[in-house]
Amino acid sequence: MDLHATSPTTTIQQADDDGTWTSEKARALHDAPFNNLLFLAQTIHRQNFDPNKVQLSRLLSIKTGGCPEDCGYCSQSAHHETGLKASKLMEVKRVIAEATKARDAGATRYCMGAAWRNPKARDMDAVVAMVEGVKALGMETCMTLGMLDLEQTARLKQAGLDYYNHNIDTSERYYSEIISTRSFADRLETLELVRQSGIKVCCGGIVGMGEEPVDRIDMLVTLANLPEHPQSVPINMLIPIAGTPLAEAKPIEPIEFVRVIALARIMMPKSHVRLSAGRTAMTDEMQALCFFAGANSIFVGDTLLTADNPGEDKDTLLFCRLGIEPMELEAQ
Ligand code: SF4
Protein backbone atom coordinates (compact mmCIF):
# COMPACT_ATOMS: atom_id res chain seq x y z
CA MET A 1 0.00 0.00 0.00
CA ASP A 2 1.29 3.40 -0.97
CA LEU A 3 0.13 6.28 1.14
CA HIS A 4 1.26 8.76 -1.47
CA ALA A 5 -2.28 9.56 -2.47
CA THR A 6 -3.28 10.61 1.01
CA SER A 7 0.01 12.27 1.80
CA PRO A 8 1.63 13.99 -1.17
CA THR A 9 4.86 14.50 0.72
CA THR A 10 5.38 10.94 1.82
CA THR A 11 5.93 7.73 -0.02
CA ILE A 12 6.02 4.73 2.24
CA GLN A 13 8.13 1.92 0.88
CA GLN A 14 7.63 -1.64 1.98
CA ALA A 15 9.44 -4.95 1.65
CA ASP A 16 11.14 -6.04 -1.56
CA ASP A 17 9.10 -8.18 -3.95
CA ASP A 18 10.48 -11.37 -2.41
CA GLY A 19 9.28 -10.22 1.02
CA THR A 20 12.69 -9.37 2.44
CA TRP A 21 13.23 -6.18 4.36
CA THR A 22 16.22 -3.92 4.24
CA SER A 23 17.18 -1.67 7.08
CA GLU A 24 16.68 1.36 4.82
CA LYS A 25 13.11 0.45 3.88
CA ALA A 26 12.18 -0.27 7.49
CA ARG A 27 13.77 3.01 8.53
CA ALA A 28 11.77 4.97 5.95
CA LEU A 29 8.60 3.48 7.32
CA HIS A 30 9.61 4.04 10.94
CA ASP A 31 10.37 7.70 10.25
CA ALA A 32 7.16 8.39 8.28
CA PRO A 33 4.69 10.94 9.64
CA PHE A 34 3.06 9.30 12.66
CA ASN A 35 -0.47 9.42 11.26
CA ASN A 36 0.63 7.78 8.00
CA LEU A 37 2.47 5.06 9.87
CA LEU A 38 -0.50 4.34 12.11
CA PHE A 39 -2.96 4.43 9.23
CA LEU A 40 -0.93 1.87 7.31
CA ALA A 41 -0.44 -0.32 10.38
CA GLN A 42 -4.17 -0.26 11.18
CA THR A 43 -5.07 -1.00 7.54
CA ILE A 44 -2.76 -4.03 7.47
CA HIS A 45 -4.02 -5.10 10.87
CA ARG A 46 -7.63 -5.08 9.63
CA GLN A 47 -6.69 -7.12 6.57
CA ASN A 48 -5.38 -9.88 8.81
CA PHE A 49 -7.20 -9.71 12.15
CA ASP A 50 -10.37 -8.58 13.84
CA PRO A 51 -9.15 -5.18 15.10
CA ASN A 52 -11.21 -5.43 18.28
CA LYS A 53 -9.94 -8.78 19.51
CA VAL A 54 -6.85 -9.24 21.65
CA GLN A 55 -5.33 -12.59 22.58
CA LEU A 56 -4.74 -13.21 26.29
CA SER A 57 -1.73 -15.13 27.53
CA ARG A 58 -0.76 -15.93 31.08
CA LEU A 59 2.83 -16.30 32.20
CA LEU A 60 4.17 -18.42 35.04
CA SER A 61 7.73 -18.63 36.31
CA ILE A 62 8.31 -22.36 36.80
CA LYS A 63 11.90 -21.86 37.95
CA THR A 64 12.90 -18.46 39.27
CA GLY A 65 16.31 -16.80 39.67
CA GLY A 66 19.89 -18.05 39.89
CA CYS A 67 20.32 -17.94 36.11
CA PRO A 68 23.91 -18.29 34.85
CA GLU A 69 23.28 -15.88 31.95
CA ASP A 70 24.06 -12.18 32.44
CA CYS A 71 21.22 -10.43 30.55
CA GLY A 72 21.59 -6.81 31.64
CA TYR A 73 17.84 -6.25 32.06
CA CYS A 74 17.00 -9.31 34.10
CA SER A 75 16.28 -9.64 37.81
CA GLN A 76 16.89 -13.39 37.62
CA SER A 77 20.53 -13.35 36.59
CA ALA A 78 22.94 -14.67 39.22
CA HIS A 79 25.37 -11.96 37.99
CA HIS A 80 23.24 -9.15 39.42
CA GLU A 81 22.41 -8.23 43.04
CA THR A 82 18.66 -7.84 42.79
CA GLY A 83 17.67 -9.57 46.02
CA LEU A 84 15.58 -12.12 44.15
CA LYS A 85 15.50 -15.51 45.84
CA ALA A 86 16.25 -18.44 43.53
CA SER A 87 13.80 -21.33 43.55
CA LYS A 88 13.83 -24.90 42.30
CA LEU A 89 11.74 -26.14 39.39
CA MET A 90 8.07 -25.99 40.39
CA GLU A 91 6.20 -29.25 40.91
CA VAL A 92 4.16 -30.37 37.92
CA LYS A 93 0.88 -30.54 39.84
CA ARG A 94 1.27 -26.95 41.03
CA VAL A 95 1.86 -25.77 37.48
CA ILE A 96 -1.30 -27.54 36.33
CA ALA A 97 -3.29 -26.04 39.21
CA GLU A 98 -2.08 -22.52 38.30
CA ALA A 99 -2.86 -23.11 34.62
CA THR A 100 -6.38 -24.25 35.52
CA LYS A 101 -6.97 -20.99 37.39
CA ALA A 102 -5.65 -18.99 34.40
CA ARG A 103 -7.91 -20.89 31.99
CA ASP A 104 -10.93 -20.28 34.21
CA ALA A 105 -10.07 -16.55 34.20
CA GLY A 106 -10.10 -16.45 30.38
CA ALA A 107 -6.49 -17.03 29.32
CA THR A 108 -6.16 -19.21 26.23
CA ARG A 109 -2.39 -19.61 26.20
CA TYR A 110 -0.21 -20.62 29.12
CA CYS A 111 3.43 -19.58 28.99
CA MET A 112 5.91 -21.24 31.33
CA GLY A 113 9.34 -19.72 31.85
CA ALA A 114 12.44 -21.12 33.53
CA ALA A 115 15.56 -19.08 34.37
CA TRP A 116 18.02 -21.42 32.69
CA ARG A 117 20.78 -21.12 30.11
CA ASN A 118 19.37 -24.39 28.79
CA PRO A 119 17.33 -27.23 30.28
CA LYS A 120 19.32 -30.13 31.75
CA ALA A 121 18.50 -33.72 30.79
CA ARG A 122 17.19 -34.32 34.34
CA ASP A 123 14.59 -31.52 33.94
CA MET A 124 13.06 -32.73 30.72
CA ASP A 125 10.60 -35.29 32.16
CA ALA A 126 9.00 -32.65 34.40
CA VAL A 127 8.89 -30.06 31.64
CA VAL A 128 7.27 -32.53 29.25
CA ALA A 129 4.69 -33.45 31.91
CA MET A 130 3.86 -29.75 32.33
CA VAL A 131 3.25 -29.33 28.59
CA GLU A 132 1.05 -32.44 28.47
CA GLY A 133 -0.89 -31.40 31.57
CA VAL A 134 -1.58 -27.85 30.40
CA LYS A 135 -2.46 -29.06 26.91
CA ALA A 136 -5.01 -31.44 28.45
CA LEU A 137 -6.77 -28.38 29.94
CA GLY A 138 -7.54 -27.23 26.40
CA MET A 139 -5.04 -24.36 26.45
CA GLU A 140 -2.24 -23.52 24.07
CA THR A 141 1.17 -24.08 25.61
CA CYS A 142 4.30 -21.97 25.41
CA MET A 143 7.65 -22.43 27.10
CA THR A 144 10.80 -20.42 27.48
CA LEU A 145 13.67 -22.50 28.81
CA GLY A 146 16.77 -21.05 27.15
CA MET A 147 18.79 -22.72 24.43
CA LEU A 148 17.60 -26.10 23.17
CA ASP A 149 19.23 -28.96 21.30
CA LEU A 150 17.67 -31.08 18.59
CA GLU A 151 16.57 -33.86 20.94
CA GLN A 152 14.92 -31.43 23.34
CA THR A 153 12.96 -29.67 20.61
CA ALA A 154 11.76 -33.07 19.35
CA ARG A 155 10.60 -34.07 22.84
CA LEU A 156 8.78 -30.81 23.39
CA LYS A 157 7.07 -31.04 20.02
CA GLN A 158 5.99 -34.60 20.76
CA ALA A 159 4.58 -33.49 24.13
CA GLY A 160 2.36 -31.03 22.25
CA LEU A 161 4.19 -27.76 22.84
CA ASP A 162 2.57 -25.11 20.64
CA TYR A 163 5.00 -22.18 21.02
CA TYR A 164 8.58 -21.70 22.14
CA ASN A 165 9.63 -18.25 23.28
CA HIS A 166 13.21 -17.25 22.58
CA ASN A 167 13.73 -13.50 22.17
CA ILE A 168 16.52 -11.92 20.18
CA ASP A 169 16.13 -8.93 22.53
CA THR A 170 17.72 -6.24 20.33
CA SER A 171 19.81 -5.75 17.18
CA GLU A 172 22.82 -7.92 16.43
CA ARG A 173 25.00 -4.80 16.75
CA TYR A 174 23.77 -3.93 20.25
CA TYR A 175 23.43 -7.49 21.55
CA SER A 176 26.87 -7.73 23.19
CA GLU A 177 26.16 -4.52 25.14
CA ILE A 178 23.33 -6.33 26.90
CA ILE A 179 24.46 -9.95 27.17
CA SER A 180 27.96 -11.43 27.16
CA THR A 181 27.31 -15.06 28.08
CA ARG A 182 25.82 -16.01 24.70
CA SER A 183 25.75 -14.59 21.21
CA PHE A 184 23.10 -13.38 18.81
CA ALA A 185 24.04 -16.36 16.60
CA ASP A 186 23.28 -18.76 19.51
CA ARG A 187 19.80 -17.29 19.65
CA LEU A 188 19.22 -17.73 15.93
CA GLU A 189 20.43 -21.33 16.13
CA THR A 190 17.83 -22.32 18.74
CA LEU A 191 15.14 -20.45 16.80
CA GLU A 192 16.00 -22.48 13.72
CA LEU A 193 15.79 -25.78 15.64
CA VAL A 194 12.41 -24.75 17.04
CA ARG A 195 11.11 -23.77 13.61
CA GLN A 196 12.32 -26.99 12.01
CA SER A 197 10.70 -29.09 14.73
CA GLY A 198 7.31 -27.58 13.83
CA ILE A 199 6.85 -25.71 17.12
CA LYS A 200 5.60 -22.17 16.54
CA VAL A 201 8.08 -19.43 17.28
CA CYS A 202 7.48 -16.63 19.78
CA CYS A 203 10.30 -14.15 19.37
CA GLY A 204 10.67 -10.44 19.97
CA GLY A 205 12.68 -8.10 22.08
CA ILE A 206 12.97 -5.32 24.60
CA VAL A 207 13.11 -1.63 23.89
CA GLY A 208 14.30 1.14 26.17
CA MET A 209 17.66 -0.50 26.96
CA GLY A 210 19.70 2.49 25.80
CA GLU A 211 19.68 1.34 22.18
CA GLU A 212 19.38 3.66 19.18
CA PRO A 213 16.27 3.68 16.97
CA VAL A 214 18.32 1.82 14.33
CA ASP A 215 18.73 -1.09 16.78
CA ARG A 216 14.98 -1.35 17.25
CA ILE A 217 14.49 -1.23 13.49
CA ASP A 218 17.22 -3.81 12.81
CA MET A 219 15.79 -6.13 15.45
CA LEU A 220 12.50 -6.11 13.52
CA VAL A 221 14.34 -6.54 10.21
CA THR A 222 16.02 -9.69 11.61
CA LEU A 223 12.64 -11.05 12.74
CA ALA A 224 10.87 -10.20 9.50
CA ASN A 225 13.65 -11.82 7.43
CA LEU A 226 13.61 -15.16 9.28
CA PRO A 227 12.57 -18.08 7.01
CA GLU A 228 9.08 -17.66 8.50
CA HIS A 229 7.78 -14.76 10.54
CA PRO A 230 7.53 -15.67 14.23
CA GLN A 231 3.89 -16.45 14.88
CA SER A 232 4.12 -14.36 18.02
CA VAL A 233 6.22 -11.20 18.43
CA PRO A 234 6.45 -9.88 21.99
CA ILE A 235 7.59 -6.26 22.26
CA ASN A 236 8.64 -5.46 25.81
CA MET A 237 9.28 -2.04 27.28
CA LEU A 238 12.14 -2.30 29.75
CA ILE A 239 11.14 -2.35 33.39
CA PRO A 240 14.33 -1.01 34.99
CA ILE A 241 15.23 -3.17 37.98
CA ALA A 242 17.48 -2.02 40.82
CA GLY A 243 20.68 -4.02 40.92
CA THR A 244 20.79 -4.71 37.19
CA PRO A 245 23.16 -2.88 34.81
CA LEU A 246 20.12 -1.29 33.13
CA ALA A 247 18.58 0.07 36.34
CA GLU A 248 19.16 3.66 35.19
CA ALA A 249 18.41 3.18 31.48
CA LYS A 250 16.65 6.16 29.89
CA PRO A 251 12.99 5.25 29.27
CA ILE A 252 11.78 5.09 25.69
CA GLU A 253 9.47 7.90 24.66
CA PRO A 254 5.84 6.63 24.28
CA ILE A 255 5.38 7.81 20.67
CA GLU A 256 8.62 6.05 19.76
CA PHE A 257 7.35 2.86 21.40
CA VAL A 258 4.12 3.03 19.38
CA ARG A 259 6.20 3.41 16.20
CA VAL A 260 7.95 0.13 17.03
CA ILE A 261 4.60 -1.64 17.45
CA ALA A 262 3.30 -0.22 14.16
CA LEU A 263 6.47 -1.26 12.36
CA ALA A 264 6.22 -4.78 13.74
CA ARG A 265 2.60 -5.01 12.56
CA ILE A 266 3.45 -3.81 9.04
CA MET A 267 6.56 -5.97 8.67
CA MET A 268 4.94 -9.12 10.08
CA PRO A 269 1.27 -8.74 9.08
CA LYS A 270 0.02 -12.14 10.24
CA SER A 271 1.95 -12.38 13.51
CA HIS A 272 0.43 -11.72 16.89
CA VAL A 273 2.24 -8.65 18.17
CA ARG A 274 2.27 -8.81 21.94
CA LEU A 275 2.35 -5.78 24.17
CA SER A 276 4.42 -7.51 26.83
CA ALA A 277 6.38 -6.28 29.85
CA GLY A 278 6.15 -2.63 30.79
CA ARG A 279 2.39 -2.10 30.59
CA THR A 280 2.29 -0.93 34.23
CA ALA A 281 4.33 2.10 33.15
CA MET A 282 2.00 2.87 30.21
CA THR A 283 -1.07 5.06 30.38
CA ASP A 284 -4.36 3.66 29.10
CA GLU A 285 -4.05 6.08 26.17
CA MET A 286 -0.64 4.71 25.24
CA GLN A 287 -1.94 1.15 25.35
CA ALA A 288 -4.92 2.19 23.23
CA LEU A 289 -2.53 3.64 20.64
CA CYS A 290 -0.54 0.41 20.69
CA PHE A 291 -3.72 -1.60 19.99
CA PHE A 292 -4.53 0.80 17.16
CA ALA A 293 -0.98 0.34 15.82
CA GLY A 294 -1.59 -3.41 15.64
CA ALA A 295 -0.74 -4.95 19.01
CA ASN A 296 -3.18 -7.80 19.52
CA SER A 297 -1.91 -9.88 22.39
CA ILE A 298 -1.15 -9.17 26.05
CA PHE A 299 -0.14 -10.98 29.18
CA VAL A 300 -2.85 -10.98 31.82
CA GLY A 301 -2.46 -11.47 35.57
CA ASP A 302 -0.82 -9.54 38.41
CA THR A 303 2.75 -10.60 37.65
CA LEU A 304 4.89 -11.55 34.69
CA LEU A 305 7.91 -13.76 35.46
CA THR A 306 8.94 -11.57 38.37
CA ALA A 307 7.67 -8.09 37.46
CA ASP A 308 4.34 -6.37 38.06
CA ASN A 309 1.56 -6.46 35.45
CA PRO A 310 -1.68 -4.42 35.46
CA GLY A 311 -3.94 -7.25 36.73
CA GLU A 312 -7.23 -8.58 35.38
CA ASP A 313 -9.52 -5.86 36.78
CA LYS A 314 -7.61 -3.02 35.20
CA ASP A 315 -7.38 -4.85 31.86
CA THR A 316 -11.07 -5.74 31.87
CA LEU A 317 -11.93 -2.09 32.45
CA LEU A 318 -9.61 -0.90 29.69
CA PHE A 319 -10.98 -3.49 27.24
CA CYS A 320 -14.50 -2.41 28.11
CA ARG A 321 -13.69 1.26 27.48
CA LEU A 322 -12.07 0.42 24.15
CA GLY A 323 -14.68 -2.12 23.05
CA ILE A 324 -12.03 -4.82 22.84
CA GLU A 325 -12.84 -8.45 23.50
CA PRO A 326 -10.61 -11.43 24.25
CA MET A 327 -9.73 -13.46 21.16
CA GLU A 328 -11.19 -16.96 21.15
CA LEU A 329 -8.80 -19.87 20.75
CA GLU A 330 -10.21 -20.83 17.32
CA ALA A 331 -9.44 -17.36 15.94
CA GLN A 332 -5.78 -17.70 16.85
S1 SF4 B 1 16.52 -13.23 30.65
FE2 SF4 B 1 16.41 -15.46 30.87
S3 SF4 B 1 18.42 -16.16 30.24
FE4 SF4 B 1 18.66 -13.97 30.67
S5 SF4 B 1 19.30 -13.89 32.84
FE6 SF4 B 1 17.07 -13.70 32.78
S7 SF4 B 1 16.32 -15.79 33.08
FE8 SF4 B 1 18.46 -15.93 32.46
pLDDT tens-digit series, residues 234-250: 999 999 999 999 999 99
Cα atoms in the Cβ-side hemisphere of radius 13 Å centred on 19 = 9
In this predicted structure, the answer to whether residue 302 has a pLDDT above a threshold of 70 is no
Which of 58, 265, 274, 279 is the catalytic position? 274
Ligand 1, atom 2, lies closest to the CA of: 115
122 in active site:
no
- All residues at 6 or more sequence positions from 121 whose CB lies less than 8 Å from its CB, including other chains: none
What would the mean pLDDT of 188-194 be, rounded to a whole number?
97
pLDDT at 3 over 70: no
Residue 74 annotated to the active site: yes
Which CATH number describes the domain made up of 53-331? Answer: 3.20.20.70
* Cα–Cα distance, 168 to 145 (Å, whole number): 14
Q: What is the pTM of this model?
A: 0.90
Q: Which of the listed residues 60, 62, 63, 69 should we mutate to test ligand 1's pocket, taking the one with most ligand atoms within 8 A of CB? A: 69
* Site to substitute for ligand 1 among 67, 87, 209, 276, most atoms within 8 A of C-beta: 67
At residue 225, the pLDDT reads 96
Active site residue 320: no
Which conformational region is residue 42 in: left (phi greater than 0), alpha (psi within -120 to 50 degrees), or beta?
alpha
Q: Which of 137-141, 266-270, 277-281 has the lowest mean pLDDT?
A: 277-281
Q: What is the mean pLDDT of the chain?
A: 90
- Ligand 1 centroid–CA 107 distance in Å is 24
Q: Where are the beta strands (DSSP E) in the chain?
A: 53-63, 109-114, 140-144, 163-165, 200-202, 205-207, 232-237, 272-275, 297-300, 325-326
146 within ligand 1 shell (Cβ under 6 A): yes
142 is catalytic: yes
